[in-house]
Amino acid sequence: MLTVAELAAAATRLAGRVEHTPIVAVGSTGLLAKCENLQRSGSFKIRGATNAVLGLGPAAVVTASSGNHGLAVASAAREAGIPATVVMTTETEPFKRAAVEAAGARVVFTAPGSDVRNRTAAELAEAEGATLIPPYDHPLVMAGQGTIGLEIVAQVPDVATVVVPVGGGGLISGIASAVRAGEGAHIRVLGVEPAAGDDTVRSLRAGHRVHIEPPRTICDGAAVQSPGELTFPILAALVDEVIAVTDAEVIAAMRVLFAAGLVVEPTGALAVAGALALGLGAGTVCVLSGRNVSPEAFAGYIGTP
């Protein structure tokens, strides 16, 4: 479990280094959005990455990522003046690959799948004596993402439900630890993952971590093969429910958010897609995880009837 002290230390490290993102109404749905799509580096990942880079000290860093975590580590490392290597699969969105390279990181490619990607990063860190910053399975990473939960309860004191996208589980385990601590024990925390990558739904049903084939979904940020070793027990203990939504529901949610003035990438619309599927409204905060999508892809999602 993450402690209040770990979350508070993360909040202190991140103060002034990441955006305190706004809460915005999602049109007339009654839903509120926590806008990590307006975060530095384009996603919430900069929180965990910065907390880990600063917390682990001044060594070269290596990470594995579908894109946003790699971009965040590259950005955080550049801020700290240390070299970064990002391991991505050959299926990584070219748009995200270009952003990681533009942020000054070395990029190493592997075959598709989060398993081989994570293993390659671990081996590379070992071989080069660099510090491994996992995309979710690390207390400093989870605590960094958890600062979003601290902000939500401060910004929306009467929040009843928080809805969070689920990939490896770093975001939701951090947020659940933050919002359900102390006075927030009654707040519901719900997770949403893509139907084609429902490893967490299956794992919760099975009572242990289930492993699936590399998922095929437009939600690249949530296309992992199993929940994390550290994140899963926290998620299982603190999250009320995890549901899965289709890519079509995700696109519909991207259009609702567009009409509300917000650009999100597919993974960033998961929480709103889930909240709409569950019929949620007032009292609900949906976490928009990121905005990193190419203009051409975004135009295709929203511009076709």
> Considering beta carbons, is residue 134 or 268 the nearer one to a copy of itself?
268
Q: Verify binding: residue 208, a copy of itself, rule CB under 8 A.
A: no
Query: Residue 259 interacts with a copy of itself (CB under 8 A)?
Result: yes
Q: Any residues with CB less than 8 A from the CB of 285 and at least 6 apart, and which?
A: 23, 31, 32, 33, 34, 152, 156, 159, 161, 162, 163
| Nearest-approach distance from CB 164 to a copy of itself, in angstroms | 18
Q: Which stretch binds a copy of itself (CB under 8 A): 56-64, 174-182, 222-230, 253-261?
A: 253-261
Nearer to a copy of itself, 19 or 101 (CB): 19
φ, ψ of residue 86 to 5 degrees: the values are -120, 125
Residue 30 makes contact with a copy of itself by CB under 8 A? no
- Indicate the pairing of strand 84-89 with strand 23-25: unpaired
**Distance set, CA 178 to CA 1, 92, 96, 148, 303 (Å):** 11, 31, 29, 8, 38
193 is catalytic: yes
Nearer to a copy of itself, 99 or 143 (CB): 99
**Rounded to 5 degrees, what are φ and ψ at 163?**
-115, 130
Which of residues 7, 35, 142, 159 is near a copy of itself by CB under 8 A?
35
Active site residue 203: no
The answer to whether 240 is a known catalytic residue is: no
User: Where in 140-169 is the site for a copy of itself (CB under 8 A)?
Assistant: none
Catalytic residue among 6, 36, 137, 193: 193
β-bridge pairing 23-25 and 32-35: antiparallel
Size of the site for a copy of itself (CB under 8 A): 27
**Burial class of residue 70 in the structure, from the number of CB atoms within 10 Å of its CB (0-12 exposed, 13-18 middle, 19+ buried):** buried
Q: Catalytic: 289?
A: yes
Which residues, numbered 48-107, are part of the site for a copy of itself (CB under 8 A)? none
Ramachandran area for residue 130 (φ above 0: left; ψ -120 to 50: alpha; else beta): beta
Work out how close the CB of 36 gets to a copy of itself at its nearest, in angstroms, rounded to a whole number.
9
Q: Is 196 in the site for a copy of itself (CB under 8 A)?
A: no
In what helix (H) or strand (E) does residue 5 lie, and over which residues does it extend? helix 4-14
Inter-residue contact 71 to 168 (CB < 8 Å)? no
Active site residues per annotation = 45, 66, 193, 197, 199, 289
Interaction site with a copy of itself (CB under 8 A): 19, 22, 24-25, 35, 37-38, 40, 42, 255, 258-264, 291, 295-296, 298-300, 302-305
